């Protein structure tokens, strides 16, 4: 079963950027605790409009399917839905820059 790389874009709702970033930073550790993602460090980026883009790696397609039945993952996703929208990458305009782990974000 090969690993599955995913790219997700989170567009924060008004005044929710900090909450979205906190959730994104906790996402992979939460999924890792459930045994669903690899040990690879995720890559985080932010576009000019504030959309946060995450590149991460699931262990398999079966792991993705299992996440859709996992109560801890479903609870985490509900928190995301309250503060952001997941958006298709082909709608992103402008520059995107990488976020270094542990660094405070600034607008590009």
* Number of neighbours of residue 65 by Cβ within 10 angstroms: 12
> DSSP character for 57?
E
Distance CA 104, CA 108 (A): 12
Q: Identify the CATH class of 4-95.
A: alpha beta
pTM: 0.78
Distance CA 90, CA 108 (A): 19
Domain ranges of the chain: 4-95
Residue 15 has pLDDT above 80, yes or no: yes
Distance CA 9, CA 35 (A): 23
Q: Give me the torsion for CA of 101, 102, 105, 108, rounded to 10°.
A: -40
Residue 92 has pLDDT above 80, yes or no: no
Annotate 83-108 with b (16+ C-beta within 10 A) or e (fewer): bbeebeeeebeeebeebeeeeeeeee
User: Is there a contact between 61 and 4 (Cβ–Cβ < 8 Å)?
Assistant: yes
Quick: pLDDT tens for 55-66. 999 999 999 999
pLDDT at 8: 92
User: Is there a contact between 21 and 11 (Cβ–Cβ < 8 Å)?
Assistant: no
Which comes out higher in pLDDT, residue 50 or 93?
A: 50
Quick: pLDDT tens for 38-51. 999 999 999 888 99
């Amino acid at each position: 079963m090969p690993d599955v790389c995913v790219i997700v874009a989170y567009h924060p709702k008004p005044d929710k950027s900090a909450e979205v970033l906190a959730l994104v930073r906790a996402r992979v550790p939460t999924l890792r605790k459930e045994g669903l993602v690899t040990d690879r460090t995720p890559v985080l980026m932010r576009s000019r409009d504030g959309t946060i883009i995450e590149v991460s790696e699931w262990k398999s397609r079966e792991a993705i399917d299992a996440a859709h039945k996992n109560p801890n993952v479903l609870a985490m996703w509900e928190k995301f839905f309250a503060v952001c929208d997941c958006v298709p990458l082909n709608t992103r305009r402008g520059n995107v820059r990488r976020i270094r782990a542990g660094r405070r974000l600034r607008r590009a």
